[in-house]
Structure 1
Amino acid sequence: MDELTAKLLETAIWRKATRSGEAGDCIEVAPLSDGRVGLRDSENPEQLPYVFSPSVWAAFVDGTKKGEFDF
């Protein structure tokens, strides 16, 4: 991970879905100040998160809304 990304993740404000419940078994997302989006496991926040470009994140959200990832 490059130094800029590390700094952006240090100050990121993470949030999780309100439907995730009390168990904590969900993912958290954080918009980064450079437009990218961080994604991490809420049960293991110390692990390195995934970081996505705005276009990749938008495609994922769009696909999710359309049900493309439903099992």
Structure 2
Amino acid sequence: MTQPYNGMPAANLTGVAWRKSLYSNSQGNCVELAELPDGGVAVRNSRFPDGPALIYTRAEIAALVLGVKDGEFDNLVA
């Protein structure tokens, strides 16, 4: 696997296990996340699994998850 970078084709991230939420619906409207060998986290659109991947640090993902748990983004789905 080449060094991960933002916008790289998700298909180039070989050897990673993509996971999506159990809340994902049957139309595939969800994002998928994969832990990278360097400890980062890749995110891709489940409708376009070979499309671009965004690469985040664990700290960035932790901040997002904590914000979601605190309800900071509830207005985006209401």
- TM-score tier after normalising by the smaller chain length: 0.7 to 0.9
How far 1:38 moved relative to its partner?
Answer: 0.6
How far 1:39 moved relative to its partner?
Answer: 0.5
Structure ranking higher in helix proportion: 1
Runs of 4 or more consecutive aligned structure 1 residues displaced over 6 Å after TM superposition: none
Match of 1:64 among 43, 63, 68: 68
How many percent of aligned residue pairs carry the same amino acid?
37
* TM-score of the pair, normalised by structure 2: 0.78
Partner of 1:31: 35
> Alignment RMSD, CA only?
1.5
Gaps of 5+ in 1: none
Aligned residues: 68
Match of 1:17 among 15, 21, 24: 21
Gaps of 5+ in 2: none
Q: Distance in 2 between matches of 1:9 and 1:66?
A: 31
How far 1:21 moved relative to its partner?
Answer: 2.1
**Per-residue CA shift, 1:12-44, capped at 9, x if unaligned?**
110111111211111101111211001110001
* TM-score of the pair, normalised by structure 1: 0.85
